[in-house]
Amino acid sequence: MQRRRFLTGSALLAGAGLAPPPAMARRLFPADVTDRYVAWQGERVVGRQEISFDREPGQFVAHVKTAMRFAAPGAGDVSFNHDSREVWQAGWLHGLTSRTRVDGRVQTVQAQRQNGSLMVDGSEVRPFQVSTYLVPSSLWHRDTRLADAFLDVEKGAVLFVRPRYAGKETLRQGGGDIEAHRYTIRGQLDREIWYDADCVLVRWDLPLTGGDWLSFQREMA
């Protein structure tokens, strides 16, 4: 982590750029559903992602599974598999476990809230604690579009970013049109993300070296 390993101070929700539209104010956690996304690289399908939401006694659980094989400029085909489980209690991230395999190399993250702080450890980081509100980089949470720091679900580091509201767009998905709000995230994590009027994640893009992009687009029922 490039800043302090022990974070204090105000909550990490000071968004940048245009103010988010008020129509996107929705309940904190989604309904118990599974959202499915198709990963595209240009005109080619390269993978899939599932984000499942489930309410358990006293907590809310988000389970993210991603599997894809894509072409990385200068590196050939890359195999990527990710499985993570987030546990939320009273609006706060209470626990996170994740396992990511990139071309055979495994990365793990474990985080658990203890005495008001989130204790984080993993294969790519030394143990540290975070004492303030923090959203994982899984992108489904409504506060993703406002946060200026994320907990990296793949490596466990804290990533500092600059979010910006980029306006309203019409997306073509599932044979129909969706009115979506676009946000750009820049910094230690670069993403383009789109949410519908209910703040449901409908698309997210990530850049590859050489100017190419991977685009995850939600399957419509």
29-81 pLDDT, tens digit each? 777 889 999 999 999 999 999 999 999 889 999 999 999 999 988 778 999 99
Chain centroid to CA 163: how far?
13
Determine, yes or no, domain membership for 8.
no
pTM of the predicted protein model: 0.86
The number of folded domains in the chain is: 1
Q: Which domain holds residue 172?
A: 31-218
Give the SS3 label for residue 23: helix
Q: In this predicted model, what pLDDT tens digit does every residue of 116-174 receive, in sequence order? A: 999 999 999 999 999 889 999 999 999 999 999 999 999 999 999 999 999 999 998 87
Determine, yes or no, domain membership for 117.
yes
Determine, yes or no, domain membership for 184.
yes
Determine, yes or no, domain membership for 3.
no
Determine, yes or no, domain membership for 145.
yes
The answer to whether 162 touches 154, Cβ cutoff 8 Å, is no
Determine, yes or no, domain membership for 148.
yes
Q: Which helix (H) or strand (E) holds 62?
A: strand 59-72
Q: What CATH number did the domain enclosing 138 receive?
A: 2.50.20
